[in-house]
Structure 1
Amino acid sequence: MLQRKPLCAAIALGCSFLVSSVLCFAQVQDVALKAAYIYNFALFTTWPEDVASTAHFDVCATPETPMWDSLEKLNGKKVEGRPWTLVDLAAAGPGQCRIVVLSGEGSLAGTEAGVSALVIDDGSVQGPSSAAIKLVNEQEHIRFDVDTRKASFSGLTFSSKLLRLARNVS
């Protein structure tokens, strides 16, 4: 009877490691999928003509965002013929960002990164933001809402294909 306690403890410990590893894997998949969504948003967005003159397609976020590594893996992929380049939002120059990824409460100050920037809320921003696209976790799926008024304020338009996939369009 005494030997069953160490065995039960070992099984319980093993199960807890298994559950935590599955949860960590799910979180990694979640941020990688969100980064893929953001890349595809870039492909289905039309920017004003003056934006096309830049050498890089700069995507700005804070290094503390859980998506940073996944967004960085996209460096070099082409958007409108220019390479995707992840930039620290705090170091970005005025008007440099084509996409601004907001994450958490601390990112709200970075929403003035540029008139023609597509601002995307990763779903963790508390309170109102200037995001034209908000990612939403819903029933174990990632969905997104689109605010076309905020996008048009920045001179952006979205493909009808993108708008059809959105959960809500306003």
Structure 2
Amino acid sequence: MIHNPKMYEAMPLGVVLRKTPGVTRWVPWVWKAVAVLPGAGPAEFREMRREGEAIEYHAATLTLELHGAETEAYLHGLTAKVPSIYVVMREGEGDCPLDMLLVTASPYEAQDYTDSGEELVEKVPMPIGLMAWVRAFVEEFHEDEVFVKRRRDKKRTDMVEDGIGDARIAQTADVYRSPTGRKKARLQ
């Protein structure tokens, strides 16, 4: 396959996490991805806003990549009730509560990450400017796949009994005999 550099675009996206107090003594804090910042610069858990005990951080800046082969998935995401970016995270070790792994506009790719159960996937509403950027990419590179119905052969396969049963059994009557019927006969 020839790689067309025009069928790929990338943009840095800042991920905003909100830290709020937990409702039980076993979970002191709840972390949730709440926004993305298109074109953001590098950051590592920089505090942005504080409202009482709720704190929002610019947690990380990741690269959103769009590939020409994935336009169907992007189109599916854009036509959702709330077009979204999916933030893939994993529980962090040390001071950082979550490690940011990936941002994607593909609901199909996000679904793949939910299957393992090791990653956390959060759905964040897509800003209008980012939505326009993804839509322009889809409009430029998306091609609908033509459905081709497969036609059956005209050959009649129900007329010949070749291949029915086990070739090692000589009698055709033995071919359809149930094995449980033979056991019952021996036990009596």
Greater C-alpha Rg: 2
User: Structure 1 or 2: larger helix share?
Assistant: 1
Judging by fraction of residues, say which structure has more strand.
2
Give TM-score scaled by structure 1 length: 0.23
TM-score, structure 2 length as denominator? Answer: 0.22
